[in-house]
Amino acid sequence: MSLDALAQTFKALSEPLRLRIVHLLMQRNSLCVCDLMSILDQGQSTISRHLNYLKQAGLVHHWREGTWMHYALVPEALVPLQAGALQQCLQQLPELAADQEALAAYESTPRQCGRTASA
C-alpha cells in the first residue's frame, strides 16, 4: 500500500458516520443500503454518499441484487489498520453500542430487501 493510499484510508475513516458504517460492516458479512438507512436512521442519499467515499478509498465493495445495493468490507484494505484492534476499539465506544442494539433489533424484523441476516 502506498503512503497516498494509506492517507486516503485514514481520511475516509475521519468522519463519524463512516466509522459507524465500517463498524456495522465489521459485524456482518454485508449490509444493504436499506439496512444501513434503518439502523443509522439516515436518508438514502446520506448513506450512499458515505458509502461512495468508503468505496473510493478502497474500503468497501458493492454489488446489486435487484434494486438494492449491498456493501461489504474489503478485508485486505483493513490490514494496515489491524482490523481486530479497530473492531475492539469501536466496540468500546458508547456511541456505537446503540448501533449494535439497533442492528440486533433490525435483524429480528423482515428486511426491506428480502435478504436474511448473516453474521
Specify the pLDDT at position 3: 62
Is residue 31 in some structural domain? yes
Is residue 115 in some structural domain? no
Closest CA to 40 of 7, 66, 71, 10: 71
| Mean per-residue pLDDT, 30-44 | 96
Do residues 67 and 60 touch, judged by C-beta distance below 8 A? no
pTM of the model: 0.75
pLDDT tens for each residue of 7-26? 788 899 999 999 999 999 99
Is residue 113 in some structural domain? no
Helix/strand/coil percent split, the chain, to 5: 60, 10, 25
22: domain CATH number is 1.10.10.10
Number of independent structural domains in the chain: 1
